[in-house]
Amino acid sequence: MLAFFILLLTPIAQGQEYELVWSHEICHDWTCYDVYDVSVSADASYIVAGSYNKVHFFGNIRLLAQSAIQEAKSVISQEKSKGYDTGKAKSLLVSAIRTIMKYLGYHTEDAESLLSQAQAAFNSRDYSKARILAEGEISCYRH
């Protein structure tokens, strides 16, 4: 998914809380969605934006996936201790983990390198080079 989202965050209280100052619509496959709600994690490590029929996540997907997997394992363990048959849930969790790992195969090192180069080009006012590098960075996340 190629999503374009511009967000400026301003620290309010010693950098602990953030306020949305400006947002833009999210575009995907030539369709744009107005953003209805934005949530920022307490440590500002990720942003979740909600539009009419989609939720868009911007941040470290690996950390989010690991957290969701740990939570699911914990719930299954608790239910098993209550005597419930958790075989189906375990099967679904294994399937979900496989799917998540399949789609987390991003080339993050390449993307980070290109993003650094794009920022350097932008800072030196070579905007066309910055754009080309940034587009290359985005393609590192495509499958």
C-alpha to C-alpha distance for 105 and 143, rounded to whole angstroms = 9
What are the sequence ranges of the domains in the chain? Answer: 7-59, 61-103, 108-139
For residue 75, give Cα distances in angstroms to 71, 79, 99, 101, 123.
Answer: 6, 6, 20, 21, 48
% of the chain surpassing 70 pLDDT: 20
Helix (H/G/I), strand (E/B), else coil: 107 = coil
Checking if the pLDDT of 22 tops 50, the result is no
Greater model confidence, 119 or 45: 119
Q: Which residue has the higher pLDDT, 71 or 107?
A: 71
Condensed to tens digits (0 to 9), the pLDDT of residues 34-58 reads: 666 667 666 666 666 666 666 666 6
Of 143 and 64, more confident: 64
Residue 136: what are its φ and ψ, rounded to 5°?
A: -65, -35
Residues 6+ apart with CB under 8 A from 63: 45, 46
pLDDT 10s digits, 70-106:
777 777 777 777 777 767 666 666 666 666 566 555 5
Stretch among 6-10, 52-56, 60-64, 134-138 having the lowest mean pLDDT: 6-10
